Structure 1
């Protein structure tokens, strides 16, 4: 028996919220809202105690998926895993289905300082895909569907 209804969002902690928002908007997400989440009640969920976090919620064009970007004001960030290799335990990455992958990758490299991790590859006649390191070294997967 499963009680799962849907995935609400995926979260990424960032250092510079404005730059992270701009980067994910360049991929095609839309800023849905921005706010501070503070106080002991929030810390009860995270286990961090009294906290103050500025969050931004972005949504994909289809409206089904959300990405929550968080910038911790209190408590201070204690660890940095942004540049961990993709085979590190617990490592996180987010992947988006896109169109015109070559054009998007070039734009993200030229305008937002992204770096292509390996190369854009083709998986059978189904996808062209790649990993890029975006703003703050966040690993992002991009996949362009070739056939249905």
Structure 2
């Protein structure tokens, strides 16, 4: 049996509205929001008495999704939200954009900060890492034709 597809990536945040606004500005589309609690949810995630709000966003091509979760109970714990890229674990999500400079300008009011530089690789692509809400690392790439 092989994997048929990847459904989504999950990211826990403390400010769901800010995360949704940031990723919508990036170009993702809100697929839906839901309140999550109860025995079924607790059984799946392994936390008793959990309550959360979730938002599912998808890329415009409908191929990839990110689920953002904001927990009311139990209280979220710090998962080293500002860890550097070489820290163990899931570290970043990457997107191809049409215009990197425009994307950065649109994300700046949402708190995006370039980690260090915007770099050009051999005239083929322009790329950088930005920190978004809650320290989420986002790699942005603009390919040149």
Does TM, scored on the shorter chain, surpass 0.5? Answer: yes
Structure 2 gaps of 5+ residues are none
| Structure 2 CA distance for aligned equivalents of residues 125 and 40 of structure 1 | 54
For 1:1-148, what aligned pairs fall within 5 Å after superposition? Answer: 2-109=1-108, 111-147=109-145
| Structure 2 CA distance for aligned equivalents of residues 113 and 41 of structure 1 | 36
Aligned residues: 145
Structure 1 gaps of 5+ residues are none
Superposed displacement of residue 81, structure 1: 1.7
| RMSD over aligned Cα atoms | 1.3
| Structure 1 CA distance for aligned equivalents of residues 115 and 101 of structure 2 | 14
| Structure 2 CA distance for aligned equivalents of residues 69 and 102 of structure 1 | 26
